Chain A
């Protein structure tokens, strides 16, 4: 019988130098030594950001004691960890998300209460980092240098699982003027690059990874979080958006390098604004071809969405009916592109 949430997010292993943050600018194509951010002084001032008044060192102390709290959309989260280095990326990426120290006695009941601890396989083995929620580790442990990506993937799992009473699709989702575009994460789609670019170009980010749609209202639930970029898209986004905040790339992953972009403040501030799905766009990245788009028949769109829905079994017929309704009421398109600028222009002009 099927499990509640069968997502396999976070099966990548990485070698990493976590917790360092830098801004990438076009004048430094080969970025210099990483700078550990110890204060809110910014090398590049992008859009106005509100900063947590907490310093990274205070966060580190909190992390290893009562924990650090933050919000992901409607979910109240707390994380505790013996790995202090996690406090740096938290400080930089989650500053707008209600980041605070947990107190010994909380007056909030947490939706997600995570812990990243130590795991050692045998006496002389190395010590790994392990992510767990309610004492259960959903993901394999990773070398402690990879504690930040492990945290992000663990959080993906926890949010996806907890959203199981809603539709949870492996897709990015952005919004403008009250209309949301869903970008399913089929292999080779370039969803991450496209959604990051859209988020940094005036579209509001709801999520780069998890499209959660309420079953009753059919409205998409914003869950803005750091955007993950892989491989070449790190440089593509970094050079195109010099004012964006990126973590230092993690280079030794099975899927190439990984970096995280801080979510735009606007997206976080507006995370209670739920919107209907106006378009489902299936992007296909194809080197060297001119941009072309075609309509996708509703039945095909439905089929492809179902394939990408993590909890399709759990939702049963109610989920099927809801997705049918969404597809029937949205513009369903496939867009093949090779040039990011062309793709962004096309989206701006044609969607919703």
Chain B
């Protein structure tokens, strides 16, 4: 029986699906929030006529929602660009970036926050400018403030006081104290402009970020979606062995090749993506990501505790060295979850 992952990997399978299969797959596609992206991909492949009306309707709804968010994000970014001093470049990341860059994975995609990266030297000035036009800084304890400002690659999420949009202001794509010492300067240098003063990461860097994020996010419920984003990006921007070599080389330059390899391997196993598994090799973490993705796609598949732990631990270890991680986790378990997006 065809399942959601089969369908994501091969949109043309939708032509042969029976109603019973759709009734199993459609709710999972909604739950994992891939229905819009997949729907757009199916339409791109000329498969619109193969979709039952119930599916077409859900796709239309997801696409409309996604379009409206894209409009809203562009409007917000215009306001942010006006507010922040001109000399500070704004590099848009993640969901909003896929929309601006016209990536296939950005069409029909649901995302909620806006992620922007500025050079670390300009972080305070950018933050002040945003606060001045209604973006409230994330409320934090003294510990959290230190956690974010000294260790992390982003500030606590800011929320607009009126519109309640959430903005994450980054200065890098990995924490400062990460064992993977990533220098964001090459990211800024390669960034491509979409408007005056507003940039997105270069295509290869967007893929690297997507791959890194898949490992570092550590949320077992979002693995399928992240892996599907990666799969779509690879299909669109990476061609053949040469393309993969360039991607891995860039990942090596940025110092994150192990993280990228875990993600590429998982996406390959799930979707038989372009990249050849033999060149990368399969890792234990990649296998855990695959298990998590399969559990996301099928309500009857139980998420093993070992997988949860492996993914959570890998995420923490990618963000902090053990010497910092252990006391931090101890504190978290006593004090409780931090406000905002603390790991």
Contacts and interface: CB of A to CB of B under 8 A. Distances in A.
Interface in A172-199: none
Contact of B52 (A109, A135, A314, A316): A109
Given A1-B72, A135-B299, A316-B71, A108 B19 contact: yes
B57 A111 contact: yes
Contact of A164 (B26, B27, B65, B165): B65
B163 interface: yes
Contacts of B53: 109
A60 B207 CA distance: 52
B61 interface: yes
B220 to A, nearest CB: 15
Interface in A132-170: 133-136, 161-162, 164-165
A110 B23 contact: yes
Given A1-B165, A135-B27, A109 B61 contact: no
B27 A1 contact: no
A81 to B, nearest CB: 16
Q: How large is the interface on A (under 10, 10 to 19, 20 to 34, 35 or more residues)?
A: 20 to 34
Q: Which of A76, A109, A113 has the most chain B CB within a 10 Å cutoff?
A: A109
B69 interface: yes
A313 interface: yes
B31 interface: yes
A287 interface: no
Interface residues of B, number: 30
Contacts of B18: 105, 107
Nearest to B110: A4
Contact of A134 (B20, B30, B165): B30
A1 B54 contact: no
A278 to B, nearest CB: 28
| Residues of A contacting B: mostly | loop
Contacts of B72: 1-2
B22 interface: yes
Interface in B22-46: 22-23, 26-28, 30-31
Contacts of A108: 19
A250 B73 CA distance: 45
Nearest to B114: A1
A106 interface: yes
Interface in A235-267: none
B138 to A, nearest CB: 17
A106 B19 CA distance: 6
Contacts of B245: none
Contact of A110 (B31, B54, B68, B164): B54
B114 to A, nearest CB: 9
Nearest to B30: A134
Given A133-B27, A165-B64, 7 more contacts: A1-B163, A1-B164, A4-B65, A109-B55, A111-B57, A136-B31, A165-B61
Interface of B: 18-20, 22-23, 26-28, 30-31, 52-55, 57-58, 60-61, 64-65, 68-69, 71-73, 112, 163-165, 299
Interface of A: 1-2, 4, 76, 78, 105-111, 113, 133-136, 161-162, 164-165, 313-314, 316
Top 4 nearest A-B pairs (CB, nearest first) are A134-B27, A109-B54, A134-B30, A109-B52
